[in-house]
Structure 1
Amino acid sequence: MPSGRRYRLRKDEFKNLVQEASQRFGESIAGAIGKDVEIHEMDDGTKLIISGGKTIFFRKDGELFPTLKIVDLIRIKRVVIDMGAVPHVAGGADVMSPGIVSADPDIKKGDIVAIVDERHGTAIAMGLALVEGNEMKAPKGKAVKNIHHVGDRIWRVLEKG
């Protein structure tokens, strides 16, 4: 576990977390958040939200993001990338439009999206949409900012826990 402060959420903070997560990712997520929730503050300011011994969310710059481990439990829009883009995105690169196979047309600029590979449909990264979903598949430009990917610091914490 990375260095930093660790503490339990108070009841009011827990209620606010469940409400925020439910609004952003669907009511079904409330059941995945156990009553015993801890926050682990990493030395870079990122806050890991741990429930039942599993890191389910993280908060970075005040924004709540799901981890890759719970992407299949929540309602989240997806961007499908070609296999040539996978190693770059898995290494932390942002998603460029030419590497996009398809994108949910309901994606709005600023939405949190799961980035999945075209062959297996496996989520390899989480990102912030920089353009609308119907504009993502284009000949050039950046479409999604990578915020969490396989192999990053948060992922390594997930692998340990």
Structure 2
Amino acid sequence: MTLTFTILHGKTYIKCSLLRLVASELIVKKRRPINKKEARSIKEGILLTHNLEMPISAGKFEIGKTDNFDVLISKGNIIALIDNNLVHLAVRGLLMNSVERGWVQVDMGAVPYVCNGANTMSAGINDVSPEVVKGQHVWIREENHHKPLAIGIALMDAKEMLTSEKGKAIKSLHYIGDKIWNYGIKN
């Protein structure tokens, strides 16, 4: 669903898609196909971060640069974020693959807030992958279907997330509906 709104520009009203404005915020520069060395490095990074073998080969994926990080692009969508040799799947990348570690599960009451980019509070967490440690990049999933909603940085260890009843547990980095998610979407 695309929402439209009207912008007052001088004396003219311009109808503009909200989705197009949100998606246009992320500027990817120097987009090009990856080479063999980059493919091997990204494949090893995903294996290290997610314990996942992904068939990444030269020429089939693209790499692009943003102001803060690099992105891995497949079929026009961002599937991974690359920052200082750390490779983490974006929400679209998580949806395309079955990742079994590094997750934090939230109850259904927290889902709307997580999907709007809010930091995840420990009160909304009902399960955590046991290997999660403070400072680790994690992905946040909902409790019914275990679908990914966001990625972030753990501010607590797994045990502390489950026992704590208040405070921030995860700092949000990327979520469904943000500029990374919307990159490549055309109306």
Give the number of equivalent residue pairs. Answer: 157
- Distance in 2, matches of 1:35 and 1:8, equals 7
Structure 2 partner of 1:108: 133
Q: Structure 1 residues 14, 136: closer, same or farther in 2, change over 3 A?
A: same
Quick check: 1:78–1:115 contact (8 Å CA) kept in 2? yes
TM-superposed deviation, 1:155: 0.4
Alignment partner of 1:41 out of 65, 79, 83: 65
TM-score (norm 1): 0.84
Which letter does structure 2 place at the counterpart of 1:142?
K
Structure 2 partner of 1:5: 30
- In the alignment, structure 2 segments of 5+ residues that lack a partner are 1-23
- Distance in 2, matches of 1:86 and 1:27, equals 26
- Distance in 2, matches of 1:106 and 1:57, equals 21
- In the alignment, structure 1 segments of 5+ residues that lack a partner are none
- Distance in 1, matches of 2:166 and 2:52, equals 37
- Distance in 2, matches of 1:97 and 1:90, equals 16
Structure 1 partner of 2:107: 82
The root-mean-square deviation of aligned C-alpha atoms, in Å, is: 2.2
- Give CA-to-partner distance per residue, 1:107-131, whole Å, 9 cap, x none: 1112222211123322111111111
Q: Runs of at least 4 residues of structure 1 off by over 6 A?
A: none
- Distance in 2, matches of 1:34 and 1:9, equals 8
- Give CA-to-partner distance per residue, 1:42-89, whole Å, 9 cap, x none: 3x3332212354432112465322011222523432211112211111
TM-score (norm 2): 0.73
1:30-69 matches, within 5 Å, as 31=55, 33-36=56-59, 37-42=61-66, 44-60=67-83, 63-69=86-92
User: SS of 2:104's equivalent?
Assistant: strand
Structure 2 partner of 1:132: 157
- Distance in 2, matches of 1:27 and 1:115, equals 17
Quick check: 1:114–1:126 contact (8 Å CA) kept in 2? yes
TM-superposed deviation, 1:95: 0.7
